[in-house]
Amino acid sequence: MPNWYYDKKDLRNTPSARDGVDYETERRYRKEGARFIMEAGASMSLGHNTVATGVVYFHRFYMFHSFRTFPRFVTASCCLFLAGKVEETPKKCKDIIKTARGLLSDEKFQSFGDDPKEEVMTLERILLQTIKFDLQVEHPYSFLVKYAKCLKGDSAKLQKMVQMAWNFVNDSLSTTVSIQWEPEIIAVALIYLASKLSKFTVVDWVGKKQDHLKWWDMFVQDVTMEILEEICHQVLDLYQPSQAESAPSKSPPQLPPSKASPPMKRANISPITSKNSPNIAVKTPLPPMPPTEVVEANPIPKHITTENPHYPYPPYPMHPVPPMPPQGHGPPPPYATMPPAMPPQPPQTWQHYPHPNANKYYPPGPPPGRNPYYPPQ
């Protein structure tokens, strides 16, 4: 199995960095691609596992390829298309492209070329080869719910803390923590962060032993506070405005897509061209569309706040956390009144009608001119 976890030095020596894209710009490109996948998934009513799988594919892909060679929104659409098939929630390619057309501006949608479906379908083969056909991805969601069931305390505060941690997991997809640490460690770190912000102190938990200094010692081993704080800081940095986000969101210079030059061929061509190169010509962008208000699909009311002014809580949750199971098992809820059953019908008597030519085709006895099959004894 390939190793999909990288160090900080690997994240600063990506193909995009070697191609002239600085670190902050690459972080912004990753964040924009991940947010696009989340918005497209919410618009198409896809589950959180499908969205998270697509984002992980996106981050893994750009550890081997440059943002200058492959446009981020085309790659994001391809990752969501493949994740839908892997997580058994498939969507048609034309529907994903239609959703992308509604979410992106005309300037950004130009990266899809003249035939967007051909671009996405061709890039899917490159994506499969890049991620080495390792399609199954684990996410922190299942571990978060598993760990939360073992914690003891006030049920209302616990539910509030779990909801906050769930939203932090959603937001962590915009960072590179999914390709730096295992999902178990991410779940522990974000529960730790949510407990600090919601002021829920974990004192007791199921399966507590004397050698357990912290509640997560029974789930993960040798996890230092430095690792947990590093994950928390990467997530909290999302809520701090940076210079890269205040800069105009422009794509890096790319070769113009065409059917004659698919992404497989463009991947082997250097994007740096000379002044006399014919590929340097850029099409005149279309006039920008008037700004429209994007309404999130299935908005979830926000009931969680924090008193820390430096880290305002994110205004959008992607998917709600499943409710905690009840402590006891009571009687089942009463069922709705069923419509009255049909009255019993009398048994139907079958009538046998003799065929008019019943014994004319095969008269009784052996055929003429032949001996009986079973002669009398």
In a shared domain, residues 185 and 226 = yes
Same domain, 225 and 158: yes
Instruction: Indicate the residue among 209, 237, 265 that finishes a domain.
Output: 237
At residue 319, the pLDDT reads 55
**39-84: pLDDT as tens digits:** 999 999 999 999 999 999 999 999 999 999 999 999 999 999 999 9
Instruction: Say if residue 67 is in the same domain as residue 152.
Output: no
Residue 217 lies in a domain: yes
132-157 pLDDT per residue, tens: 999 999 999 999 999 999 998 888 99
273 confidence band (pLDDT: 50, 70, 90): very low
Q: How confident is the model at residue 265 (pLDDT cuts 50, 70, 90)?
A: very low
pLDDT tens column, 161-213: 999 999 999 999 999 999 999 999 999 999 999 999 998 888 888 888 887 88
3-state secondary structure the chain: CCCCCCCHHHHCCCHHHHCCCCHHHHHHHHHHHHHHHHHHHHHCCCCHHHHHHHHHHHHHHCCCCCCCCCCHHHHHHHHHHHHHHHCCCCCCHHHHHHHHHHHCCHHHHHHHCCCHHHHHHHHHHHHHHHCCCCCCCCCHHHHHHHHHHCECCCHHHHHHHHHHHHHHHHHHCCCCHHHCCCHHHHHHHHHHHHHHHCCCCCCCECCCCCCCCCHHHHCCCCCCHHHHHHHHHHHHHHHCCCHHHHCCCCCCCCCCCECCECHHHHCCCCCCCCCCCHHHCCCCCCCCCCCCCCCCCCCCCCCCCCCCCCCCCCCCCCCCCCCCCCCCCCCCCCCCCCCCCCCCCCCCCCCCCCCCCCCCCCCCCCCCCCCCCCCCC
Does residue 228 share a domain with residue 167?
Answer: yes
Looking at residue 164, which CATH number applies to its domain? 1.10.472.10
Same domain for 147 and 176: yes
The answer to the question of residue 197 being in a domain is yes
In a domain, 273, yes or no: no
pLDDT confidence of residue 46: 95
User: What is residue 69's predicted lDDT score, i.e. its pLDDT?
Assistant: 95
Among the residue ranges 119-128, 156-165, 261-270, the one predicted with the least confidence is 261-270
Of 108-117, 168-177, 202-211, 333-342, the one with minimum mean pLDDT is 333-342
> Which pLDDT score, from 0 to 100, does residue 344 have?
73
Which residues form the domain of 28?
8-131
Of 87, 104, 131, which residue constitutes the final position of a domain? 131
At 308-322, the pLDDT tens digits run 444 444 444 455 555
Question: How many distinct structural domains can be found in the chain?
Answer: 2
Final residue in a domain of this structure, among 100, 131, 162: 131
- Evaluate if residue 257 carries a pLDDT over 50: no
Mean pLDDT value across the chain: 78
- Domain presence at residue 257: no
Give a yes or no: residue 191 inside a domain. yes
pTM more than 0.85: no
